[in-house]
Structure 1
Amino acid sequence: MTAPPVRGSWQARAVRQVSALTARRLAAAAPVNACTLPFARALIDQALRTVAPALSGTTVEQVRDGRVRGEWVRGPRAGRTDAVVLYVHGGGFVAGSAAGYRGVASRLSTATGLPVFTLDYRRAPEHPYPAAPQDIDHAFRWLTGRGYAPGRILVAGDSAGGFLAADFVIDRARSGLPAPSGVVLFSPMADLSLGVATGYEGARTCGLLSAGLSRRAVTHFTPDPYELLPAPGKTLPPALIHAGDTEFFGGDALVLAQRWTATGAVCDLQIWPDQIHAFQVLPVLIPESRLAYRSAARFAAAVLEPTAAAV
């Protein structure tokens, strides 16, 4: 498995410092409501398209099939058809979209060689809990209906999408349903009460998120914040978790990894130095992002083709 570098690049440190002086302050002061969200959503999507443009040669197919909406993204050289990635985008439950994350899906597809289906789940506050979890479940079942066995589906997500992805996998295990092949989580949330995050030392040096902003977003998703609590004795698939040591939800990643392994499941927790929250979605700015996709690709190979990965 690709290991994080021992020190972050100067680009990563610069992005975190500049963001702390600009984006974090603006986001912390901004209200999250019906008046501001349309502008914020458009701004976030445009920013993502700028810092993570789709790779040349990427093909995109939009899907509108009943309750399932999203995009099939196939990066250059992504020729495999025997497995698939189901990607759950971040955005604090209130923002983000398949179109905005097209470049992220393109890179993940290229690294793994797999097609990526990025789900456009219903977002809060228009559609609070349990709309998003229901949409993920529908998308997973839709993929199985298209011929992908559960064990040939890799579930991935970042930030709030990482929370939703992990919550889906945990709920599926709790219900005794067949597990996906594995789960890849970039800077996942794990405790919507923010108790873990606010108690984590690295949260104070985060260059992007704050407790106030995160709490306002979570409140739109659910008035009853809950934690990811895998049940002991329930079979969970292998997990790969990435987090920065200077990000708001770094503590969430640590706690989630501990809880994952406590069930007896395999979990590879990687803490990346000097990284901003969800640095994987900033490949134009942060070179470690490319290493992170390689790490995810090696994990995918290990859980989808154990014999090949062992060579």
Structure 2
Amino acid sequence: MERVIEHRPGTSGKARRFALFMKVFIRPVFFYSPLTRSMLRLAAVLDRAAPLLMRPARGTRVERVDLDGFHGEWIRPEGGGSGRVVLYLHGGGFFCCGLRTHRGLVARIASRSGADAFSVAYRQLPGSSLAISMADALNAYEWLLKQGNAPEDIIIAGDSAGGFLAFTTALTAMEKGLPKPAGIVALSPLVDLDHEGRASYEFTRRDAYVPVHRLKKLNRLLLAGMDPGPLPSPCDRDLRGLPPVFIIAGSREALLYDAELMTERLALAGVPHRLQIWENQVHVFAAFAGVVPEGHEAINEVAAFIRETTPRPTADAA
């Protein structure tokens, strides 16, 4: 199978100004803050402050659900209830962000796709390793199945580190004999924990704000307590049998490397896939749809993929 890549040209003035803002004011903080446990705890403040800036649309209902050792929340927008479910796994490098930072993005995806979304506050650094984050994401998928949600109605979605978890959740579910979801959506996903291949990539140190060149140091914390052996990177696993995958990335971000690598591996595995590369957009630009017009367009693309992958003729006709 050949790689399926679409290029989306054109960058709005608002998007260019936002990228400049991120590069001047946010990049120095992310690039030069020490990766200590104290600093990682401080990063958790970002999620608590997020409601001041990122709120879901009016009419959206948010319902907390407590699971085994972690929790999640249903995001039910007006017009949802079609039977579709989006299992959403937020990004943040496995140490920051959470339900609040991503509530607006998840609500937009749910509303435009006619779905209810279950967003997961999986445990992460500094208190929990990558193994626990992965286990929580898988447990959330298993919980949705036990609640009676049909796998053909479930899309697993995530951005950045959450994209990593979206792939590992689907792969591990299949390995355990669980039914696979209907599809996977990955926004600027991290898929390779081995930084060596990415080290010489053109945008690794030129990204507007994401310091993926520090992943090698972060791995020490992420992999603590895990069995030594091959890195648990989803791009290195057996991808055969995965459901259709839709990936979005910016043309000048560091994790475009991962998006292109995963697309190559998906093609080799014969997995239906599509990668959209948006010109000059920052990492997970869809999360900033409030200020970046292209973010709304990208969310519309995601919603279209969800509707196409989880057809509900009666609900859609209504």
1:100-123 residue CA offsets vs partner (Å, 9 max, x unmatched): 221111111111111100011110
- CA contact 1:170–1:236 (8 Å) conserved in 2: yes
Q: 1:17 aligns with which of 17, 20, 30?
A: 20
Does residue 7 (structure 1) correspond to residue 10 (structure 2)? The answer is yes
1:54 aligns with 56
Does residue 179 (structure 1) correspond to residue 186 (structure 2)? The answer is no
Separation (CA, whole Å) in 2 of partners of 1:264 and 1:288: 30
Using a 3 Å threshold, how does the CA distance of structure 1 residues 219 and 49 change in structure 2: closer, same or farther? farther
- CA contact 2:86–2:155 (8 Å) conserved in 1: yes
- CA contact 1:163–1:189 (8 Å) conserved in 2: yes
- CA contact 2:87–2:154 (8 Å) conserved in 1: yes
1:231 aligns with 238
1:36 aligns with 39
1:249 aligns with 255
Using a 3 Å threshold, how does the CA distance of structure 1 residues 231 and 24 change in structure 2: closer, same or farther? same
Using a 3 Å threshold, how does the CA distance of structure 1 residues 40 and 301 change in structure 2: closer, same or farther? same
Does residue 291 (structure 1) correspond to residue 297 (structure 2)? The answer is yes
Task: Letter of the 2:308 partner, please give it.
Answer: A
Instruction: Point out the more displaced range, 188-197 or 117-126.
Output: 188-197
1:35-65 residue CA offsets vs partner (Å, 9 max, x unmatched): 222322213553x445532111111001113
Count of matched residue positions in the alignment of Structure 1 and Structure 2: 305
- CA contact 1:200–1:250 (8 Å) conserved in 2: no
Cα drift, residue 215 of structure 1? 3.6
| SS, match of residue 62 in structure 1 | strand
Task: Letter of the 1:13 partner, please give it.
Answer: R
Instruction: Point out the more displaced range, 184-193 or 161-170.
Output: 161-170
2:84 aligns with 83
1:265-293 residue CA offsets vs partner (Å, 9 max, x unmatched): 10110001111111111111211111111
Unaligned stretches of 5+ residues in structure 1: none
Cα drift, residue 242 of structure 1? 0.4
Unaligned stretches of 5+ residues in structure 2: 1-5
List, as ranges, runs of 4+ consecutive aligned residues in structure 1 with deviation greater than 6 Å. Answer: none
TM-score normalized with structure 1 length? 0.90
Instruction: Point out the more displaced range, 9-18 or 288-297.
Output: 9-18
Instruction: Point out the more displaced range, 111-120 or 194-203.
Output: 194-203
Matches within 5 A, 1:1-311: 5-46=8-49, 48-80=50-82, 82-222=83-223, 225-228=231-234, 229-231=236-238, 234-305=240-311
- CA contact 1:51–1:282 (8 Å) conserved in 2: no
Separation (CA, whole Å) in 2 of partners of 1:231 and 1:221: 22
- CA contact 1:196–1:252 (8 Å) conserved in 2: no
| SS, match of residue 138 in structure 2 | helix
Instruction: Point out the more displaced range, 221-230 or 253-262.
Output: 221-230
Separation (CA, whole Å) in 2 of partners of 1:227 and 1:57: 39
1:226-280 residue CA offsets vs partner (Å, 9 max, x unmatched): 4322426x31100000000111111100000111121111011000111111111
| SS, match of residue 301 in structure 2 | helix
Work out the percentage of aligned pairs sharing the same amino acid: 29
| SS, match of residue 115 in structure 1 | strand
When the two chains are superposed, the root-mean-square deviation of aligned CA atoms in Å is 2.3
- CA contact 1:51–1:285 (8 Å) conserved in 2: no
Task: Letter of the 2:10 partner, please give it.
Answer: R
Instruction: Point out the more displaced range, 222-231 or 177-186.
Output: 222-231
